[in-house]
Amino acid sequence: MYEQLIRKKRKHLLTWENFGIVIGALVALALVTITDRRGMPHKWHTAIFGTIVPFGFVMSRFRMRWNRLSFWAALTICLAIHTAAIWIFFQYVLSNAQTIGLLLWLPLAFIEAFALLVVVKRLEEKLTGKYESLRLD
Q: How do residues 61-119 score in pLDDT, each as one tens digit? A: 887 787 889 999 999 999 999 999 999 999 999 888 888 888 888 999 999 999 999 99
User: What is the spatial distance between Cα 41 and Cα 94, in angstroms, rounded to a whole number?
Assistant: 11
Q: What number of residues does the chain have?
A: 137
82, 127 Cβ separation under 8 angstroms? no
- The angle that helices 43-61 and 2-37 make with each other, rounded to 10 degrees, is 170
User: What is the spatial distance between Cα 48 and Cα 97, in angstroms, rounded to a whole number?
Assistant: 16
pTM flag (> 0.85): no
pLDDT value for 103 = 87
Mean residue pLDDT across the chain = 84
